[in-house]
Amino acid sequence: MTTYTPLPIPPAALAELRGTDDSGRPARPYTAREDGVPLDCVGSPLRCCLRPIEAGERVALVSYAPLRRWARMTGAAPGAYDEAGPVFVHAEECPGPRGEGYPFTRPGALRTLRRYDSAGHIVGGRLFEIPEEAGPGFDKALGEAFADPRVALVHIRAVEYGCFQFEVRRP
């Protein structure tokens, strides 16, 4: 059982990203194919429904600024901590996450858990290697993060590419 709730990109943000992404570029949808044409993205994480891309799905690779969007909702001012990066989303509306638990939990994969305060400033971080028992491992790492009363939210990012995976907010 997951103690914390992994959050996908919110539906309103997805609607905007499917038109123009957070770097001001139009989305360019395509069909995911296993043979690598036009891009081998099968198995890559979808941030709209927190599962891997399957062959035949219409997807788009867009620039997403999760902290900027959170700051707009809360009045925070992250300043230089604001950043945008690439994420895959379905090209059309999707039903969202299908299951419970933490997504993208391949044992041995490296993640950073970046902690932010209510102003949107980084107040710490942690390198995390996903263990065989991913759920308890994430629960422990997020419990450590939220033990600091300054922490308002945590962004989980892939170390290899720096990509945003998902967000967890203070329970």
The confidence score (pLDDT) of residue 39 equals 57
Are 19 and 82 within one domain?
Answer: yes
Q: State both tokens at 59.
A: 């997807």
Are 81 and 147 within one domain?
Answer: no
Give the integer Cα–Cα distance in Å for 98 and 29.
22
Structural domain includes residue 41: yes
Q: How many structural domains are present in the chain? A: 2
Instruction: Tell me if 88 sits within 8 A of 44, measured CB to CB.
Output: yes
Structural domain includes residue 73: yes
Structural domain includes residue 34: yes
Structural domain includes residue 96: no
Are 81 and 126 within one domain?
Answer: no
The answer to pTM > 0.85 is yes
| Owning domain of residue 36 | 11-90
Are 80 and 22 within one domain?
Answer: yes
DSSP 8-state secondary structure symbol assigned to residue 146:
H
The contacts of residue 61 (CB under 8 Å, 6+ apart) are: 28, 39, 41, 86, 87, 88
The confidence score (pLDDT) of residue 38 equals 53
Structural domain includes residue 104: no
The confidence score (pLDDT) of residue 59 equals 95
Local mean pLDDT, 10-residue blocks, the chain (171 residues): 88 97 96 68 87 92 96 94 94 90 94 97 96 97 97 95 92 87
